[in-house]
Structure 1
Amino acid sequence: MNIQALVVKVASRCNINCTYCYMYNHADQSYLVQPKFMSKSTVEALKEKIKNHCLSHNLNSFFVVLHGGEPLLSSVKDLAFFLETLHSLHEDGINIIFAMQTNGMLISKQHCELFNKYNVGVGISLDGDKEVNDMYRIDKKGNGTFERVKQGINVAKEHMEFPLGCLSVINFQSSPIDLYEAYRSLGFSTINLLLLDENYDSIDQVPRLKNADWLIELFNYWYDLEGNKKTSIIKFEDFINLIFGSESSSESAGKGYNKLAVIETNGDIESLDVLKICGESFTKHKFNLHTNEFDDIFQSDLIDVYYNSKQMLCKKCLACPVNEVCGGGYLPHRYSSKNGFNNPSVYCDDLLMLITHIQNRVIDSLPENLIEETGIQKLTYQDAVKLIEEKLPTIPEPAYAKKLESFALSN
């Protein structure tokens, strides 16, 4: 077990107030006790612990995402110190790959010069055009943020050497086609679509297929586009690759391991930050950069479950014919105070319908001789549901079920 990527909270506060935000507007309010910014001593401790971990596990590259809150609330000087400190690990044979997730409102020419110097890939958080984005991505006064984000995008496009990616929480009230075309018009190179971060305790009603209809409409439109009009949609491309047997995976798909940890501004080493939606101080441990190595965190049951979340599946997922593509869905979406993580995703039915649809569209595009040679067959959503119902009674309770359920409130 090892860590190969970090989400580093260089700032713990944000300059806007998205109504759905898992950090500020869900169950966990522990950000209030965090320092607003990461200190230089903590950055230096971070460098040392990355070095120790990479040398111990023979890793010659390591991925670091600057995050928040809003990372650009940090001064340009402090960001330069952070980037240069970690970049200097190349002297020890360790290549640090940088990325940053930002709402884009504060991007300046000086920031872009830093991004160019240290090859920082930048993702912009945006939820669609002005009307759609400004429903929920608002500032502290309740005003929409789209126009200010667009200004930041224009600055980045003028001064950055690399294209921008987009991270978008799906608003199912929007038109999927209009959303896609809005992102294309802004010049994004990739679109990373996220399902709203909900679990069985926070969601009013578990969605049943209406979300799948939206995603299928977008997939069909995107899949049929000519190459020069097709901007990468990461979720769809991941599913296609996994359907064809790829071993690559993301946090919310595939069958790999989640080799990522989060560093808070005070140096605390934690599990996935989205797990904060499960309860107050849910991700808090005793581990800190100033006193612990990264290997120490595997003493935590929560980090163990997150690391192995695609192997520790509930019985329904074990019975599902697409579990190697879905991976059981995103771990935070599986939580309930009744059963802990021993549940399918709240988006289970939507994912099953989407994946079977994508699989069948892909099969339709294959040459007939290849279909005959491989024996690949279509699988409808209805057939998949039937297979699950037939197989489920034959599956014993897995040995790890008690660990999944240990996070229930009753425990």
Structure 2
Amino acid sequence: MTPGRYGDAGRPAPFRQVLLKIHSRCNLSCDHCYMYQHADQSWRHRPFVMSKRTLDHTAARIADHAIEHDLRSVAVILHGGEPLLAGAHTIDYAVRAIKRAVGDRAEVRFGLQTNGLLLDERFLDLFAQHEIGVGVSLDGPSDDNDRHRRYADGRGSHDGVVPALHLLRNERYRHLYGGILCTVDLASDPEGVYAHLLDFEPPEIDFLLPHGNWTKPPPGRVDDPIATPYADWLITVFDRWYRAPERRTRIRLFESIMALLLGGRSGTEAVGLSKIDLITVETDGAIEQGDALKTTEEGMAATGLHVARDSFDRALAHPAIASRQSGLTGLCATCRDCPAVAVCGGGLYAHRYRIDNGFDNPSVYCADLLAMIRHIAVTMSADLNSTLV
């Protein structure tokens, strides 16, 4: 057995990623949003914009954690809600405060995830100044994207996002282009969605399974527990992506599964047994776990900690975070006995939830994950064998 392959508990892994909620509201009303459409409604009681005081406290916590654990680099993701609603001044202040606090002790890499509707040259010039990478959310052509990503009055958002993606394709800003985030919708044609996203020449596409669990299953996972509709959708995209004569766009989920099959590491918490190294800071300064937990029940992401009084090391000691860093031992018996566990890793933590026993379950996408992993493994094996003939 390769040491560490199964995510041995050992010493806690420090946080190398900080999700910074600089704005708690959004200019869209997407019906699949984990922030506003699921169990946890704590956003209603939080300030719209993160204050300078809270930003300063957060910057100090990031710096202290980097020094304490001798981190070479830290990633800070500016997030929301819609982070651009915070305005250029807040974004500029946040980046400067963090850079000032960390100094030359570690490299700080900044990213921002946006729906793209407010993204313009003014923002992009600021992002170029601070080297902030930009990810944009888009679920495919207008009919597919606008099925879920809509304004509160029902208007679709697709046509408002397209100009932002064209700006990022421009040579002036291309170095900031992080990629496109796309939530899988079974009602959409996978080939049509993939082809449309490629039109914008993203360096990376991140396909996300819609959030759901055993208590509140995602669409298509209710009637037949052994069916694999999400695997079928993603395999269609994988086959086209894998067989492309020139592969210019990375797909994080596929590349992570391939790396894990070869004994490497995952680039996403959706698969693999790597220790979760992400922490969230809300607009009010609350230190929380990953946002996906907001889809399970009220307060599940909370830790009771705050940047004004608590270090990130206190968060590392929190029982829920310790459990998420426990690797194989933190999985249910079904997962531990599965031959694909080193690759699947039990799937995304939030997707294992059931109201009667918490997270002691396989992923609600278990059948899909297994089918997808097997398909990728068979495809890779056939290619590897052919090179030896």
When normalised by structure 2's length, the TM-score is 0.91
Q: 1:369 to 1:129 in 2, by over 3 A?
A: closer
Moved more, 152-161 or 43-52: 152-161
Partner of 2:150: 138
Contact 2:63 2:102 in 1 (8 A): no
2:117 to 105, 113, 123: 105
Q: Secondary structure at the match of 1:171?
A: coil
Deviations 1:55-75 (A, max 9, x none): 111112111100000000011
Q: Quote the residue 1:379 is aligned against.
A: none
Matches of residues 8-23 of structure 1 in structure 2 within 5 Å? 8-23=20-35
Q: 1:46 aligns with which of 52, 58, 69?
A: 58
| Contact 1:165 1:190 survives alignment (8 Å) | yes
Post-superposition CA distance 1:257-280 (Å, at most 9, x none): 001110000111011111011111
Shift of 1:311: 4.2
On the 8 A contact 1:249/1:256 being kept in 2, the answer is: no
How many Å apart are 1:89 and its aligned residue? 4.2
Q: How many residues align?
A: 370
DSSP-derived class of the 1:365 partner: helix
1:360 to 368, 378, 383: 378
Q: Where does residue 186 of structure 1 map in the other structure?
A: 200
Find the counterpart in structure 1 of residue 7 from structure 2: none
Relative contact order higher in (CA < 8 Å, ≥ 6 apart)? 2
Question: Does residue 220 of the first structure (1) align with residue 234 of the second (2)?
Answer: no
Separation (CA, whole Å) in 1 of partners of 2:33 and 2:361: 23
Pick one of 124, 132, 136 that aligns with 1:120.
Answer: 132
User: Contact 1:276–1:283 (CA<8 Å) still a contact in 2?
Assistant: yes
1:200 aligns with 2:214: yes
Q: Return the alpha-carbon distance in structure 2 between the equivalents of residues 322 and 42 of structure 1.
A: 43
> Aligned partner of 2:212: which letter?
E
Task: Work out which of the two has the higher radius of gyration on C-alpha atoms and give 1 or 2.
Answer: 1
Question: Of 259, 279, 297, which aligns to 2:297?
Answer: 279
Going from structure 1 to structure 2, the CA distance change for 1:168 and 1:369 (only over 3 Å counts) comes to: closer
Match of 2:280 in 1: 262
Residue 287 of structure 1 aligns to a residue whose secondary structure is strand
Q: Which is further off, 301-310 or 76-85?
A: 301-310
Q: Report whether the alignment pairs 1:338 with 2:351.
A: no
Structure 1 residue 207: Cα displacement: 6.5
1:108-136 CA distance string (max 9 Å, x none): 21110111111111110111111100000
1:251 aligns with: 269
| Cα displacement (A) at 1:101 | 0.5
CA distance in 2 between partners of 1:14 and 1:231 (Å): 28
Shift of 1:172: 1.3
Matching residue of 2:73: 61
CA contact (8 A) 1:247 1:256 kept: yes
**Counterparts of 1:131 and 1:250, CA distance in 2:** 28
What is the alpha-carbon distance in structure 1 between the residues aligned to residue 380 and residue 129 of structure 2? 40
**Letter of the aligned partner of 1:51 in structure 2?**
A
Give the deviation of 1:300 after TM superposition. 2.3
Contact kept? 2:257, 2:266, Cα under 8 Å: no
Deviations 1:218-266 (A, max 9, x none): 1111111111x54211111111111111034421111210011100001
Q: Is the 8 A contact 2:353 2:360 kept in 1?
A: yes
Determine if contact 1:115/1:160 at 8 Å carries over to the other structure.
no
2:203–2:248 CA contact under 8 A, matched in 1: no
Q: Indicate conservation of the 8 Å contact 1:87/1:118, yes or no.
A: no
**Contact 2:18/2:280 (CA < 8 Å) preserved in 1?**
yes
Q: Which moved more, 1:200-209 or 1:142-151?
A: 200-209
Measured against aligned partners, the alpha-carbon deviations of 1:173-224 in whole angstroms (never above 9, x if no partner) come to: 1111111110110121110000000001111615721222112121111111
Equivalent residue number for residue 242 of structure 1: 260
CA RMSD of aligned residues (A): 1.6
